[in-house]
Copies of this chain bind each other. A is one copy, B any other.
Amino acid sequence: MIPEVERILKEKGELIEKEIERVIPRKGIRNLNDAVWYHLDSGGKRIRPVLAILTCESLGGDVNKVLKFAAACELLHNWLLIHDDIQDGDKIRRDKPAVWVKYGIDHGINIGDFMSERVYNLIINSDIDDNTKLKLISEIVETCSKTAEGQALDMNLRKNNDPKESDYMEMIELKTAWYLTLPMVGGSIIADKPELTGKIKEFGMKAGPAFQMADDLLDLTKGKGRGEIGSDIREGKRSIMVVHCSSKCESKEKNKLFEILNKPREKTSKEDISYIKKLFEKYGSLDYAKNKAKSLIEESKKITKGMPEKLRRILDQFAEYLVERKK
* Chain A contact residues, CB within 8 Å of chain B: 28-32, 83, 86-88, 105-107, 109-114, 116-118, 120-121, 124, 130-131, 133-134, 137-138, 141-142, 144-145, 148-149, 151-153, 155-156
Name the residue in A30, A111, A120 with the highest tally of chain B Cβ atoms < 10 Å from its Cβ: A120
Number of copies of this protein chain within its complex: 2
Q: How far is the CB of A9 from chain B (nearest CB, A)?
A: 28
List residues of chain B with CB within 8 A of the CB of A87. Answer: 105-106, 109-110
List residues of chain B with CB within 8 A of the CB of A151. Answer: 110, 113
A138→B130 CA distance, assembly (Å)? 12
> Interface majority SS on A: helix, strand, loop or mixed?
helix
Determine if A124 and B141 form an interchain contact, defined as CB atoms under 8 angstroms apart.
yes
Q: How far is the CB of A205 from chain B (nearest CB, A)?
A: 18
Determine if B110 and A145 form an interchain contact, defined as CB atoms under 8 angstroms apart.
no
Determine if B152 and A30 form an interchain contact, defined as CB atoms under 8 angstroms apart.
yes
List residues of chain B with CB within 8 A of the CB of A30. Answer: 152, 156
Determine if A113 and B32 form an interchain contact, defined as CB atoms under 8 angstroms apart.
no
Sample of 30 A–B contacts (CB below 8 Å): A28-B149, A29-B153, A31-B156, A32-B148, A32-B149, A32-B152, A83-B113, A86-B109, A87-B105, A87-B109, A107-B152, A107-B155, A109-B112, A111-B152, A112-B113, A113-B113, A113-B144, A113-B151, A114-B145, A117-B141, A117-B145, A118-B145, A120-B141, A121-B142, A124-B134, A124-B141, A130-B130, A130-B131, A130-B134, A137-B137
